[in-house]
Structure 1
């Protein structure tokens, strides 16, 4: 299929499309990972975004059910330099094109992704409209300018579970899933767009896991905590601008005031900062990939981490929290431990799906905190 792309900086491009045809809106971000494209595409944190892969060829290993991070694909679509319609991997069940068609998402290829990465690097994340139906630059421009900005949309209510459920699956070890051990502590996960492998890692840290919708009331969790039916709360990753989630921030503040032990990752980390009155800010083009060096300030070790975020917490957070991790690409705050509360949080993704395994100890630290 022929595809036409209009960017908000008035760049108009043509390319070819695979997967599902139609017209799609989103924000362009680039990802520097060299592998794990299925885990990236199925990460709910990419809701409302087009993922530009810097890896030049995508599709070679196909797709399978085990590597999905969620049941749906919430990203607007993907951009790749070269798309491989054939695949070769012993675990693969279907092609990337079939996968995108099933989830009704578009793939763009035969386009200079290096040009797009440089454009995003220099201009920041750009709103875009992609279509296999509309070839007119002016019509695409009109539709894009009339659409809502990503910072104005609450994607969390779209990606979150609709009802509570228990998660008992452990970490995949290459052949089967490790059986969960007899759990000593129970954790309530607030689902803002949680990845499956985060839940797997919590189980692997010997925790009993129950997942709740994004709008669960703090008082209900506090009641469970006081009864000993849960021992802590996990605040998950998720998409979009954290500051517009006013209700969620207010509920987190109540949990903190009740001294409920908590771990936040990515969006959960950002929401905690906002709950304590330290507002997050949007980065120029964010950090997306599996090769970001982070220094653990407590043991001085450098960890290579997976990242996926456009927003970050401010330096002023050090007034109420110890900074435990810093990003060595930008020196931004990557992790904190709150001074007067049983709360830790990190910006990067220790579940390592996809990405290095060097930060998985965060889940054990949370289990020890409980």
Structure 2
């Protein structure tokens, strides 16, 4: 363990393997613990902070300068900041953007997000890439004080970190899901017009831009709580069903897997992203596993194996589907009940499965975030695929 001196005015980051980083407080003072992960995006920090998939995670920004453009009321992907803690190298001393309503530092303080700045984030990220993501804690203010004018020992702080639950084994989608259903009406060119399709979207940690992307294509989207029953989905008479992104271990989502199997059995066109991809994998009979350090950022190269096209995509996942790449295989669940399935997308950095396509039932999914908030729009065609799938199903093709 590294022995470092620090004062009550500092902020201290402690990893569960004993590494210690001393920096300055950023955001709120206090204590926070969670799984520490890193995001590689050069922009989009406001969307990252408000992505519910980061529930109970301390996020490290690999890009060194954060906060330049401040914060505004248009870019958040949900109604609150979800990250457990925030780690940056150089917070911007000024806000410089015509859309800004305030500073990131003030936003973090207002929402009680404990952070640390001015540490060597490059060293930290290189360590997480080799050792893997792990539990960590950020301590500052009174949580660093021993109450006697000094500071707590690293061993005391480490005990707090090690008491934090592991991400593997955690079920978190109910924690972040909406408690009340709401509807997103068609917008853009379709605003005020009769919806082309009705989508039942199960919120497992949905980002605001996702139903918006469907609404832009003429869909009326009913965003539903994670506790929604199949009968409640059926009552909407949907043309398609969507399962969103979300946090936690997909291996602890038996109830959602069972719900999706009811959806597939009924023949509804299905589209899932991120956590929804993992749920489709499980529903088809495949396993899931935890990645060493995951994919988080807006610059991940993925190949669409159905077209050979390479797209740059936005990611946020620490788990993946364990499915065979190559030729289509019979979905393992109940001796091939759901027919043939193939891996449709792979990550070009590490060959991780990034998408599934069912060939005998109307269902597909991807592991990344095609709503691209923040991020490139290379994957926007996936929403068009979903619309085409609903159209074909409606026409009986």
Whether the 8 Å contact between 2:135 and 2:162 is mirrored in structure 1 is no
> What is the aligned partner in structure 1 of residue 61 from structure 2?
53
The residue number in structure 2 matching 1:360 is 380
Whether the aligned pair in 2 keeps the contact of 1:164 and 1:210 (CA below 8 Å) is: yes
What is the deviation of 1:178?
A: 8.4
Deviations 1:190-219 (A, max 9, x none): 000000011110111211111100111123
**Residue in 1 that maps onto 2:304:** 296
Aligned to 2:287: 279
Mapped contact 2:185–2:219 kept (Cα < 8 A): no
Task: Give me the whole-angstrom Cα distance separating, in 2, the residues matched to 1:170 and 1:155.
Answer: 31
Alignment of 1:1-370 (within 5 A): 1-132=9-140, 133-134=143-144, 135-168=152-185, 170=187, 179=191, 181-224=193-236, 229-316=237-324, 318-319=328-329, 320=331, 321-370=341-390
Aligned residues: 361
Q: Any idea what the Cα deviations from partners look like across 1:293-323, whole Å, max 9, x if unmatched?
A: 1111222111111111011111238523122
Structure 1 position 3, deviation (Å): 0.9
Q: CA deviation at 1:85?
A: 3.2
Corresponding residue SS for 2:287: coil
Q: Secondary structure at the match of 1:78?
A: strand
Q: Does the CA-based 8 Å contact 2:286-2:323 persist in structure 1?
A: no
CA–CA separation in structure 2 for the residues paired with 1:152 and 1:48 = 13
Please say if residues 90 and 117 of structure 2, whose CA atoms lie closer than 8 Å, have aligned partners that are also in contact.
yes
8 Å Cα contact 1:85-1:95 kept in structure 2: no
Residue aligning to 1:174? none
* Post-superposition CA distance 1:126-146 (Å, at most 9, x none): 110111122421111111222
Report the 3-state secondary structure (helix = DSSP H, G, I; strand = E; otherwise coil) of the residue aligned with 2:324.
helix
RMSD, aligned CA: 1.7
CA shift for structure 1 position 246: 1.5
Query: Displacement of 1:359 after TM fit?
Result: 0.5
Q: Is the 8 A contact 1:192 1:238 kept in 2?
A: yes
Unpaired runs of 5+ residues, structure 1, are 172-176
For residues 193 and 304 of structure 2, what CA distance do their matches in structure 1 show? 29
Runs of 4+ in 1 over 3 A off after TM superposition: 177-182
TM-score under structure 2 normalisation? 0.88
SS of the residue 1:151 aligns to = coil
Find the aligned partners of 2:192 and 2:287 in 1 and give their Cα distance: 38
Any unmatched runs of 5+ in structure 2? 1-8, 145-151, 332-340, 391-397
Q: CA deviation at 1:123?
A: 0.5
Give the TM-score taking structure 1 as reference length: 0.94
Shift of 1:2: 1.6
Shift of 1:120: 0.6
Structure number, greater radius of gyration: 2
